[in-house]
Amino acid sequence: MMKFIKYSLAILLLIFIFMAAFIAHTAWRHNMLSSPVYDTVAPAIPDFISDDADTKPNVLLFSKTNSYRHLGAIPAAKQMFTNFAKTENWNLFETENAAVHGKTILDRFDLIIWNNVTGDVLTQEQRTAFKTYIEEGGQFLAIHGTGGNPEYDWQWFPKTLIKAQFTAHPMNPQFQDGTLIVENTEHPTTEHLPKEWGRKDEWYSFETSPRADVNVLISLDENSYNPSRWGDKRELGMGGDHPMVWHHNVGDGRVYFSALGHTAESYEDQNFRKFMKRSCLWLLQ
Ligand SMILES: [Zn+2]
């Protein structure tokens, strides 16, 4: 009997060690164990961005992560935007160096895209430059993880720029089939989508609905999935009003936020790609 108990305890201990190692490895892979890195030396900006004679739109694609790293979505989105730049004739500059957020550099760009940027990534000076860029008429597209920090040191980001504070997403299971309601079927960025858009994604929830301050384009039907972290409590429900895609003005600038797009597969989906391309084209107008 003692032997049996000893063996059982040993097996339990092994399972525990294995699980702890697995969790630690997953956290490490997704960049969740490292301390934030702030960049202070700006990258060299290629001539094609600087050249005033060139009338092509200049697009900045920024993908730095100081917290959870979307290992699949970041490269998939980079590939998608690189492809758009080719077909739509844009100058695209892609970087993970946050020091690109300086006034003279930002002013050269017609559109800034934050591709699943997580954690606080900007220094005080960079924050001021970026805020000024937006307020003075800059165009900003924020994708999924960019609005998915559970907390921000820089409160202007969730409060004014995104207009919503992320709370959590389901973990059991993390990815669920859900039905998006395309609320505005006349907007240039969503008019190609079905009124009820079925997708599988990691569904974000926010502290409160930003509806009063933004133009909601797409929301999520909370009855189409289980808005619960681990079980059946449905504690991630937002009382039925669950916006997922919206746009609004910040000063003279425009912000377009999409909470969609955790998986790499999203960026292969034709409806999703069209939606992303149209968002860029609308912001570049
Ligand atoms: Zn995600």
CA distance 162 to 215: 12
How many angstroms is it from 70 CA to the middle of ligand 1?
6
Query: What is the chain's alpha carbon radius of gyration, rounded to the nearest angstrom?
Result: 21
CA of 119 relative to ligand 1 center, distance in Å: 13
Please state, for a pLDDT cut of 90, what percent of the chain lies above it.
84
Tell me: pLDDT of 25 over 90: no
pTM of the model: 0.93
Confidence at 182, pLDDT banded by 50, 70, 90 = very high
Categorize the per-residue pLDDT at 47 as very low, low, confident or very high, splitting at 50, 70 and 90.
Answer: confident
Distance from the alpha carbon of residue 229 to the mean position of ligand 1, in angstroms: 14
Residues, CB within 5 angstroms of ligand 1 (ion)? 202, 262
Measured between alpha carbons, how far is 93 from 81 in angstroms, rounded to an integer?
10
Segment among 37-51, 135-149, 213-227 with least mean pLDDT:
37-51
Which residue has 């954690």 as its token pair? 119
Superfamily of domain 47-284: Class I glutamine amidotransferase (GATase) domain (3.40.50.880)
Q: Where are the domains of the chain?
A: 1-30, 47-284
Q: What are phi and psi of 165, to 5 degrees?
A: -105, 120
**pLDDT value at 48 more than 90:** no
* Rounded Cα distance, 93 and 62, in Å: 8
- Rounded distance from Cα 168 to ligand 1 centre (Å): 10
What is the per-residue pLDDT for 198? Answer: 98
Distance CA 190, CA 274 (A): 9
pLDDT single digits (tens) 103-134: 999 999 999 999 999 999 999 999 999 999 99
Cα 50 to ligand 1 centroid, rounded to whole Å: 34
pLDDT for 188-221, tens place per residue?
999 999 999 999 999 999 999 999 999 999 999 9
Residue 121 in 3-state DSSP? coil
